[in-house]
Amino acid sequence: MYVRLLATLMCVVLFCSNIAFAWNVRSFSKDEDICAALRLLNRIGADEVFENLQENSVKIIFYDLSMIKYSYCNHYAINSVDNWGCRYILINSKYRGASKEELACLIAHESFHKSKRATLEEETLATEKEAYYWSILKIPGKRYSKTALTNRLDRLAGLYSESTNDNNLIEQRISNSRFYQNQLAVSSRSRF
């Protein structure tokens, strides 16, 4: 009888502690697809992502990025500031149908953009985290849509797994990319 009582008490404590340490995903977004991606990150213990989001009071929404600047129409997501200084992760609305695993990787990437100016170091870290999360979130055997986003994530995961301390392939890709050279030259975060 005491064993059952003790076992029941332990189950209640464990259940309550899991709830206590869960992040409130609705504080970051009201969109159900984004919340599903956030719940996935929460489930795998991606606390660093949530700490970054909370530190900057970030909200996450789908957004037509071409409304900010037409050249952004093919961006996957951006970390932006609105006219009142509020931080947002804007996920390109054309990826609204992406899997929660893919959306989680975009959120992870953008959460690591904290400074007002984009730097090679920050972009490298954010891209490494995106690749890392894809390498653990991608479900083997699941058929993902063949989109530019899926192709990007697969390429990044490959670079991440082949990199060494002395040969960071992601950093090399970023520093040699004309796109990133132009982006890293931008003086501050875009506003929408």
Residue 5's pLDDT is: 44
pLDDT per residue as tens digits for the range 113-144: 988 777 889 999 999 999 999 999 999 999 99
Average pLDDT rounded to a whole number, residues 42-65 = 95
Q: 150 near 102, Cβ under 8 Å?
A: yes
pLDDT beyond 60 at 191: no
β-pair partners for 61: 90
Can you tell me which residue has the tokens 């953009």? 113
Among the ranges given (15-24, 63-72, 121-130, 177-186), the one the predictor scored with the smallest mean pLDDT: 15-24
Mean pLDDT within 18-27: 69
Instruction: Note the pLDDT tens digit of each residue in 161-172.
Output: 999 999 999 999
The structure's pTM equals 0.83
Report the SS3 class of residue 103: helix
Residue 17 has pLDDT above 50, yes or no: no
End-to-end alpha carbon distance in the chain: 63
Is the pLDDT score of 1 beyond 70?
A: no
Q: pLDDT at position 185, please?
A: 59
List the chain domain ranges.
25-184
pLDDT of residue 91: 98
Residue 116's pLDDT is what? Answer: 77
Q: Phi then psi for 136, rounded to 5 degrees? A: -105, -20
